Structure 1
Amino acid sequence: MTNTATVIDLQSHAARSAAQRRARALEEAMRRHPSYQSRTAVPPPPLRAV
């Protein structure tokens, strides 16, 4: 009997892409928060359109 393994590319996996979207949204929300902006020496980079 031959066992074969299926390789899943994690970059294109739905769970990973959803987690990446959530992480980006959280990071952008934190950058917009006034307390975060007051701690940075330079203004945050412009947000990208989603």
Structure 2
Amino acid sequence: KELIGKRPSKELFERAAQMEMERAKPLEHNKYKVELGKRAIVRALKMAAG
């Protein structure tokens, strides 16, 4: 819903990724994967937006 009706932008994609990963519960040795997940979401959204 964060993306609907809004102009694609890096900032919008970063906000959407943050919202999507807010409830992620990393384990002790994989906390870095939350950041990787956010980056993957942003990258995928950029690709989808063209």
When normalised by structure 1's length, the TM-score is: 0.41
Higher RCO (CA-CA < 8 Å; seq separation 6+)? 2
Rg larger in 1 or in 2? 1
When normalised by structure 2's length, the TM-score is: 0.41
